[in-house]
Amino acid sequence: MEDRLCAACGRFLGLLPECGCGPEQLARALSRFEIGPRAVERAAQALPEHYELELRGVRLLISEYLDAFCGLFEEGAPRCEVSVPAPGFLITALQAASGGSFRFLTGALIIQVVLRSFFLWGLPFGTGAAMQLHYCGLNRTREYLLSSEAAPELLLQFGVLCDECLKCGEAAPPGTRVLNLALPKGEGPRLRELAAVQAEDFLARAGEALGVQVTPSAWLRGLESYLALQRLQSRLALLQARRDRLPPGGNAFALAQTAQLAVFDRWEGLLAALGTYADELEAAPPDDGSERTYCFYTPFLQPWVDARLRQGGVRLMGSAVFLRREISPASLRPGPLTAAWLEALGPRMGGAELAEAVAEEVSRLGCTAYLGGMFAFDRWMGPAHGFIARSLAARGIPSFSLRGDFWNESPCRSEEELENICAAISARRETGKHP
């Protein structure tokens, strides 16, 4: 079985010649989740259908996630696990200050992406009665990580959206130190001041836990990495929005957007992958006339959804979860920058405000429909769908809702459901009901 799994992993990696991890390393990592050779063979057959592997930037991007996944389970420097979402500039500052003495990763997110989007793994995390409880699959994955041999020495948890997030660390083993930052909910000058003070205090405590001090020099080096990522994301968003060019595949673009949530131990490879992807999108062929549909969050962890919709003439065009208010920080120091970042987050907008932002994005991208759902279990992410649907309906734009769970913790939707969505969106063109 071991030889067969290594051989299957070799064939899978043959699709990704730029990938740094080898078949044996990938096989060792996958075997921890009881993923066998047949599953890897199926994943290898499906990957070209789900991702545009003819684009080097896409292959590089997938490779970065795979390398991070394999590295989770390898020996090396102590691990520092980061929850999602987190103020990325605080993490890059800690990385710069630590100088490689710790490995920083969003391991739970990386595991979800690799297992579900690349290897089509559909099982929930957890055992026994816990599997019957419906709560965030990302938190389940972090709990798995804490109980595994890859348990981090330091866990940084941020209470930004999810109230369950900070609870995960309660199950941490004795060898894991946990630092929490419970950022305030709501808006206003006093809460901005509170968030700024909390961020400065957290950075000092995290530095102490790492045995380092975040000097002004380390802060600026880390900030440059963070801003480089943001510049690439802005460039990709502009390229995707062109009406006369074929937009990128929904899965690949969601994978690129999700890099905003991820933490990688080394940023150079990821930035190079995103830069290559952007360069290739510059030369995208003319648009094929497919219907464009905006999403709350493109369900790339269940990548057959995008593939099936593309077959039906519908292209998924990015994710509202990454929308931001235009907020200028009082300064580029950690505290004010954290306060501005927090206030800018799209999912923290009120329902009516987020609905208006989605409507503007639908118009900018030339979309004729909106696809939500998959977060009904989440009291932060789920309730906005009704506001958004009503706002778009007033503009003549229909909304559709996918049943199921974004983190794949419940059964996926049927083929018939996707066919019906394609038919409903395409029918609007045929009947001349485009907005």
226-243: burial string, b at 16+ Cβ within 10 Å, e else = bebbeebbebbbebbbee
**pLDDT bucket at 29, cuts 50 / 70 / 90:** very high
- The whole-angstrom distance between residue 269's C-alpha and the CA centroid of its chain comes to 17
Indicate if the pLDDT at residue 32 is higher than 90: yes
Contact 179, 157 (CB under 8 A): yes
- 3-class state of residue 105 by DSSP: strand
The neighbouring-strand residues paired with 294 are 370
- Checking if the pLDDT of 430 tops 80, the result is no
Q: How confident is the model at residue 339 (pLDDT cuts 50, 70, 90)?
A: very high
pLDDT digits (tens, 9 = 90+) for 123-137: 877 654 455 566 788
- Least confident range from 8-12, 59-63, 138-142, 260-264: namely 138-142
Gap between the Cα atoms of 40 and 337, Å rounded: 43
Distances (CA, A) of 102 to 99, 105, 149, 293, 355: 8, 10, 17, 41, 41
The rounded distance, in Å, linking the Cα atoms of 376 and 372 is 10
Phi, psi (rounded to 5 degrees) for 84:
-125, 135
pLDDT in tens, 156-215: 999 998 878 898 888 899 999 999 999 998 888 999 999 999 999 999 999 999 999 999
pTM check: above 0.75: yes
29 phi/psi in degrees, rounded to 5: -65, -45
CA atoms of 142 and 171, how far apart (whole Å): 10
In one-letter notation, the amino acid at residue 168 is C
